[in-house]
Chain A
Amino acid sequence: AQSVAQPEDQVNVAEGNPLTVKCTYSVSGNPYLFWYVQYPNRGLQFLLKYITGDNLVKGSYGFEAEFNKSQTSFHLKKPSALVSDSALYFCAVRDGDSSASKIIFGSGTRLSIRP
């Protein structure tokens, strides 16, 4: 079965510094990987996805993620953190090849950016 793991419950970064939120995956077949963000009292917002092609995927709000097949990782990155980036981040993988296939989420990482 497909799965993703987020090893850090919390990541703390100073504003202006680069940030990384880690994710590793375990899939059979081609991995379809996603990052979603959840702001307080808001729904899940799509940030970016990896399907195929370039290993560096660019997404919303200046975020990017690097797909690494040998390390089975899909870490979320941003060169310069903003206080407004503070939120809960979920890595996810699509389970199956059908368009109706469900998404399996990681446990989430709370990102806290201090001014």
Chain B
Amino acid sequence: EPEVTQTPSHQVTQMGQEVILRCVPISNHLYFYWYRQILGQKVEFLVSFYNNEISEKSEIFDDQFSVERPDGSNFTLKIRSTKLEDSAMYFCASSERFRTLDTDTQYFGPGTRLTVL
């Protein structure tokens, strides 16, 4: 069964450093998302991406964040200057092109745990 993959599984960085989290969505999916989960808190939406542009972003997704689909398979989340409060589990998700209501389930990757020191 195809699945979303994410690398690395764990990233440790110093405050102020740039990090890039990588995701490979399911191959025939066209909609991509990033969510995050701070330890002990809810899973929160960050951004959705379709047709090489951002569809929607949350208040969390400020100028320090950016997303990119650099090639046909990868989808990346970049944090330009990390803060302590960016420490969280970051989940990538993807969904298929909307043809019927049944095809827009979002499938999640295993997550990248980001620790900012």
Contact = CB atoms under 8 A, between A and B. Distances in A.
Chain B interface bracket (under 10, 10 to 19, 20 to 34, 35 or more): 20 to 34
Contacts, number: 57
A100 B48 contact: yes
Contacts of A63: none
A100 B50 contact: yes
Contacts of A45: 108
Interface in B12-35: 31, 33, 35
Contacts of B49: 100
B55 A100 contact: yes
A105 B48 contact: no
Interface in B63-117: 91, 93, 95, 97-98, 101-102, 104-111
B56 A102 contact: yes
B42 to A, nearest CB: 5
Interface in A45-102: 45-46, 49, 51-52, 90, 94, 98-102
Interface stretch (A10-18, A19-27, A36-44): A36-44
Contact of B31 (A46, A52, A100, A107): A100
Interface of A: 32, 34, 36, 42-46, 49, 51-52, 90, 94, 98-108
